[in-house]
Amino acid sequence: MKQVYRSQYRQQTWNVRSFPQGTRNCYTLNLTIGDKYLIRATFLHGGYDDQPSTQFDLHLGPNLWSIVSTTNETEAVAFEMIHLLTTDRLQICLVKTRNSTPFISVLELPKLMNTTYLTQQGSLQLANRADVGATVYHYRYGIDVFDRGWTRYNIRNCSRIRTNQTVNVNNDYQPPEIAMVTASVPTDPDAPMNISLFPVEPTLQLSMVMHFAEIQELNSSDVREFNIMYNGKHIYGPIRPLNFITSSVYTSTEVVADENRQYTFSLRRTENSTLPPLLNAMEIYTVILLPQQATDRKEVDAMMNIKSAYSVNKIDWEGDPCVPLDYRWSGVNCTYIDNEQPKIISLNLSASGLTGEILEFISDLTSLEVLDLSNNSMTGSVPEFLADMETLKLINLSGNELNGSIPATLLDKARRGSISISIEGNNGLCSSASCATTKKKKKNTVIAASLVLVFLIGAGIVTYLILKRKKIAKLGLHSRSHHGFEPPVIAKNRKLTYIDVVKITNNFERVLGRGGFGVVYYGVLDNEPVAVKMLTESTALGYKQFKAEVELLLRVHHKDITCLLGYCEEGDKLSLIYEFMANGDLKEHLSGKRGPSILTWERRLCIAAESAQGLEYLHNGCKPQIVHRDIKTTNILLNEKFQAKLADFGLSRSFPLGTETHVSTVVAGTPGYLDPEYYRTNWLTEKSDVFSFGVVLLEIVTNQPVIDMKRERSHIGEWVGLMLSRGDINSIVDPKLQGEYDPNTIWKVVETAMTCLNPSSSRRPTMTQVVMDLKECLNMEMARNMGSRMKDSTNDTSIEASINFTTELNPAAR
């Protein structure tokens, strides 16, 4: 860049990289799947050549992101996109569409919180990020922790206010404090605050984030309460900004222009409000759809390995091999089927200067039908893996320096006509069956010798194991139950006889409940109340669940997980003895079976957070990791202080130690709570529990059945999504709460729940993230209630429990 411009721009823009060669040039970044980034590309010509007027395309992977157009050397052009990675590779490509040369000054990728900027489809491109009360024109890194750029924005008919006090900005969005200590309010206190956005094509979808904090000292009689409207329709509220604490509101669904091509957001005071609405900062984004799927990742890796190993020097071998179709790699043909990833069906590297052997990377092209490696200088033999490629129909190896014999299996496929092979010009290559037969005999001799050695070693091992087993049997250490399973590894002082169980339950006098496992009875053990769960039928499945629950609960100790006090295994009599949970399960309280007493919103948040902590411990605090597999409201129990604990671990599974990210298992769980991805693939991960917990959160908010065929949408997640799309969150809230809640916390819990219900497990949050969200909501609700809370003993207990609530983000492994 010319020296004259350097003082006007950040140092990152002082240099450019241009791409005069090739049509498409790409930056390939290896990142983490499921992470969310703010991707920012900046273009400042700066006079690096004599053609400052340029135009070219900017691509994110195979999809068009935007058209870059610069008109002079001093004009900087920047594009920002918030994008959730669906793969662990990100490609940013510059595509020449005219005679001008593509260039780029800066490419930045600040990482964001995954719980923010949620979209139902596509990604978000920045339209405006505004400090509406600012006096500073522009700021970003050093002031904003995520390096977001903020600009001053004036709202018509509004005045600016500010405070000298500190404003807490520690929510997931973390807007800069400099933006939150100022705000705009309507000059006329009775008038709404209107924000009219630029007119654009009516099909463009927008998303908005608004950041609020009360920055004025209010009198006891002052109330600032308002609703958010969009084109005259209510979309959120009422809102009461917290005193010097930031709350962020994000539109859950994208909005479109009205018939007049207008985008108008309004903040309107409610009838209860004595003060006008207030806004500190806002962010506006347009939704960018990214419909084109990238080529299958394994095949892209194969092509990159082929390119690197053979030093393929083709100028158009940049970016995705198959898409977009106009920029497909030369020599590559692919399949293009709607809603499916492209796959490579033909690879032509004829006369490409290749040397060395035929690489096994080619076998990763699992849909390949045509392979042409002719007229190169390839050496070595024809590999066996070519015969194993089921889709391969034509192989052209002519004009190389290959030697040895063609594998017999490949020759056999050629004789049967299932594949065509061309090998002319390879003087050292034998294509007769006799070559293969001689080679096979030598190979068989080696294999036979190896098998003898393996047999002798195996016989020795078997003999050793037989002798060891006999020794164990003599010592009485090896025993099996009549069910055919190893008995649980359990401390002797916890094992009870059936007579003990009869005494504990006073001959099974009082039934606490019934479930799929059996009957639960009330009992007394060591002068303490207990719950005794009896297996009603001695089946193999029942014993397997009994064994799983005993072994799991003996190595799991957490305040939010039910405690196992003992067990009985005597013939067909199987029972588990737990701590007594005086207030039953969460479902009973939501449904009213426990009487007319209503769980307050604060208590529901506390129950949700405690349950989430227990589940987070199973996922992150246990080695190996444990997946519950049956999270639901009936398996969340409440003690005499209404502390929540997870129960019923009969279906739980431990992951094997190592690098496994999932286990393949028969689907188990409860309809409605069951992860659809797990149901479809049989692949169990901790994200299956996250889905189930998302359903539980929606039950806590709505007190609606999980499945209701009478509803417009039968599943609770689909129904809530439909109601939110109509713009009124209050319509889904349990009416028993009678409006006694902070709408901001309701909204945040629903947002968290809906992200948990994402059909793709990779896009769901972790339980650690869920715990953090719920803790934030609980703290906000506590702050709202603290001033008016009754001081009786019951509520004192509730306050103490809430204040002492902690998040175990990284508990020690057991």
Using DSSP's 3-state secondary structure scheme, residue 226 falls into strand
Q: Map tokens 């497990």 to a residue.
A: 761
Residue 170: which of 160, 180, 185, 182 has the closest Cα? 180
The string of DSSP codes covering 560-584 is TBPPEEEEEEETTEEEEEEE--TT-
Residue 347: which of 314, 380, 384, 377 has the closest Cα? 314
Give the DSSP H/E element, type plus range, for residue 793.
Answer: helix 793-803
| Residues labelled catalytic | 630
What distance in Å separates the CA atoms of residue 106 and residue 79, rounded to the nearest whole number? 11
Q: Which two tokens stand for residue 157?
A: 């008919």
What distance in Å separates the CA atoms of residue 114 and residue 123, rounded to the nearest whole number? 13
What distance in Å separates the CA atoms of residue 610 and residue 603, rounded to the nearest whole number? 10
Q: Known binder of ligand: residue 533?
A: yes
What distance in Å separates the CA atoms of residue 305 and residue 363, rounded to the nearest whole number? 12
Q: Which two tokens stand for residue 547?
A: 């064994």
Question: For residues 487 and 550, is the Cβ–Cβ distance under 8 A?
Answer: no
What distance in Å separates the CA atoms of residue 653 and residue 672, rounded to the nearest whole number? 20
9 to 77, 107, 134: CA distances (angstroms): 12, 15, 21
- Indicate the length of the chain as a whole number: 814
Compute the half-sphere exposure of residue 126: CA atoms within 13 Å on the CB side of its CA.
20
425: left (phi over 0), alpha (psi -120 to 50) or beta: left
Residue 365: which of 340, 382, 342, 383 has the closest Cα? 342
Neighbours of 244 (CB within 10 A): 17
Question: Exposed/middle/buried for 434, CB within 10 Å: 0-12, 13-18, 19+?
Answer: exposed
Residue 193: which of 280, 276, 282 has the closest Cα? 276
Please work out, in degrees rounded to the nearest 5, the angle formed at the alpha carbon of residue 605 by the alpha carbons of 601 and 607. 115
Compute the half-sphere exposure of residue 13: CA atoms within 13 Å on the CB side of its CA.
22
- The partner residues of 646 in beta bridges, in order of sequence, read 561, 636
What distance in Å separates the CA atoms of residue 479 and residue 485, rounded to the nearest whole number? 9
* DSSP letter (8 states) at residue 362: G
E strands in 693-775: none
The type of residue at 763 is R
- What percentage of the chain's residues is helix, strand, coil (to nearest 5)? 30, 25, 45
What distance in Å separates the CA atoms of residue 195 and residue 175, rounded to the nearest whole number? 20
The type of residue at 730 is N
135 to 45, 150, 154, 159, 721: CA distances (angstroms): 30, 12, 10, 12, 40
Q: Which two tokens stand for residue 550?
A: 């005993």
Question: Exposed/middle/buried for 390, CB within 10 Å: 0-12, 13-18, 19+?
Answer: exposed
The backbone torsions φ and ψ at residue 299, rounded to the nearest 5 degrees and listed phi first, read: -75, -35
Q: Which two tokens stand for residue 260?
A: 């007049």
Binding site residues for ATP, as ranges?
533
Binding site residues, as ranges?
533
